[in-house]
Amino acid sequence: MCSTLYSFTAKVILMMESTCLNSIKDESQVLIKKGENIKIFRVKKGRDIFMDNTKFSLDGAIGHPFGTTFDVVKGTLVKVANGSNKEIESAGKDTEGSQLKDNRDLYDLNSNQKLSKEEIERLKKDGVSGNELVEHLIENSLTFQKKTEYSKEKYIKKKKRKHVLQLTILRPTTRLLCEMYSKSAQKICYLRVDTLAQMLTYGNIHAGITVAVVDTCQGLVVGAVMERLGGFGQVIHLYHESIPNRTAVESYDFPVEMMKTLYSFPLNQVNTLTLKKATHEVNNECISNSDETIKDTSEQMDLEPDASRNVCDALIVDKNDISEKRTDVDSDANKLCEKSVGKNKTEGKRTHDESERKARKEQRAKEWKDARDLLERGQLDCLIIASKLHPTPIVRALMKFVAPSRPIVVYSQFKEALMDCGVSLREEGGMVNYRLSETWLREYQVLPQRTHPKIQMSGTGGYLFTATTLAKISVMTE
């Protein structure tokens, strides 16, 4: 059965390769990289985007392969010819002896530049490209030739940043999304790229397996797992909020066929799960029960059945918690407030909403049922937890659904939470190969004669706890 499944999905993959992956299309999700700065956009024909205070349209990228570099010229994208970039970089490079220069003769004066502001503006208006402009600036700089090679490069980089809006359009991948999120790490619970990388290998994530993922990292972990499954196998996202927050998954732009491998199940229904033996009747009962909850709360909160509860829970925690977390929770609460304010405004469309809501509820009940069936089979190949929640109760509730000799991987920003997890699981038994770890990532500047670790580094990428499950019959102590 597996091999036919493989060959079917293989077709899907190949289709995906040829149609989606290689060229930029209308409606594609694209990562725009400008220097160290990465942002995600969806291409929409005829619509402008804002980046670096500049308004421009992405239409010019359509049809080009991912990985193409463009200049922004008068609000449109113009493809940069290969290698044209290099010339300007080497314009500043002269040969031997440059290392010996120092800055004793250099003064910081505006008059070092012969071109006046007005002249620069005029050149720009005349349609001189950013790169050409930088060349003009170099020619007209009185001090440029006196600079050391290193400061020449720095000068060019600085001027380019100011005058050239040059960007590369890339296909969203886990690597690049991690780079993007590193600038706002609080959104992904401070999970760093090397930590996520460890999670995927220690989880032995590969094509054909079934993985349960508890993710409050905007769906980044769910997306990373889906990328590694490549459409083979299943991912169940166990979500915490009232509706799954999976902004990151959308960023990947997975084809529809691949999205079908994603299932969702709310964490607040986990205690209703029973291993395998559950009869149909029991299942149905559970579903209708959960429908009940939706009905109850939705009276007050409209489409956000559990929102009120979540806020309460969060605030209670907040009281005893360190101040750092307060901002986090507050902003969550604010978000929810905003949402409900927005809802009130649309009150007029009530009746329309009513039927839509019903449809959505049925849809959700079906999704839950599928996810429930998968979980209750007790044949999960991996359990991954990456959340802001205390992991121990989650692991304990879900570990019985994981098949024997499979990895579980738990991430937390805090080592203590994982220590609790480790001690409590060891006490309970049923697992071996416990490991609590942290990785450390140091980046380097590599330049001739100037190689050294980067001045800034990330102080933490969080902690990992991993273990391997055992067959259920055997009760074991390590």
Contacts of another protein in 189-228 (CB under 8 A): 193-194, 196-198, 200-202, 204, 206-209, 227-228
Instruction: Give the end-to-end CA distance of the chain in Å, rounded to a whole number.
Output: 37
468 binds another protein (CB under 8 A): yes
- The pattern of x and - marking residues 432 through 451 that bind another protein according to CB under 8 A reads xxxxxxxxxxxxx-x-x--x
CA atoms of 430 and 477, how far apart (whole Å): 8
- The least CB distance from residue 469 to another protein, in Å, is 6
Asked if 213 and 221 count as a contact pair (C-beta separation under 8 A), the reply is yes
Which of residues 115 and 432 has its CB atom nearest to another protein in the complex?
Answer: 432
408 binds another protein, rule: CB under 8 A: no
- Least CB distance to another protein at residue 328 (A): 20
What's the min distance (Å) between Cβ of 412 and another protein?
A: 12
Residue 437, C-beta contacts closer than 8 angstroms, at least 6 positions apart = 198, 463, 464, 466
Residue ranges in 271-330 that form contacts with another protein under rule CB under 8 A: none
> What's the closest the beta carbon of residue 442 comes to another protein, in angstroms?
5
| Least separation in angstroms between CB 422 and another protein | 5
The answer to whether 257 contacts another protein (rule: CB under 8 A) is no
Tokens, residue 70? 């463009």
Which residues from 363-382 bind another protein, rule CB under 8 A?
381
Does residue 436 contact residue 464 with C-beta atoms inside 8 Å?
Answer: yes
Please report, as residue ranges, which positions from 55 to 84 form the binding site for another protein (by CB under 8 A).
65-69, 82-83
Should residue 168 be labelled a site residue for another protein when binding is judged by CB under 8 A? yes
**Is residue 393 within 8 Å of 437, Cβ to Cβ?**
no
Residue 465 has phi, psi (to 5 degrees) of -120, 130
Closest CB to another protein among residues 300, 433: 433
Q: At its nearest, how many Å lie between another protein and the CB of residue 464?
A: 9
CA–CA dist 321, 465 (Å, integer): 23
Dihedral of alpha carbons 359, 362, 368, 370, sign:
negative
- In the complex with another protein, which residue's Cβ is closer, 215 or 227? 227
Looking at the chain, how many residues does it have?
478
The yes or no reply on residue 230 touching another protein (CB under 8 A) is: yes
- Grouping H, G, I as helix, E, B as strand and the rest as coil, residue 96 is coil
- How far is 308 from 315, CA to CA, in rounded Å? 11
Contacts of 291 (CB under 8 A, 6+ apart): 361, 365
Any bridge partners for residue 263, and if so which? 236
Count the residues of the shown chain that bind another protein, applying the rule CB under 8 A. 76
Q: Which residue of 151, 174, 216, 251 would you call a contact of another protein, by CB under 8 A?
A: 174
- For the CB of residue 408, give the shortest distance to another protein in the complex, in Å: 12
In whole angstroms, the minimum distance from the beta carbon of 404 to another protein comes to 3
Q: Indicate the residue among 322 and 341 with the shorter CB distance to another protein.
A: 322
Residue whose tokens read 């579980």: 408
Closer residue to another protein (CB): 137 or 374? 374
The radius of gyration of the chain from alpha carbons, rounded to an integer in Å, stands at 27
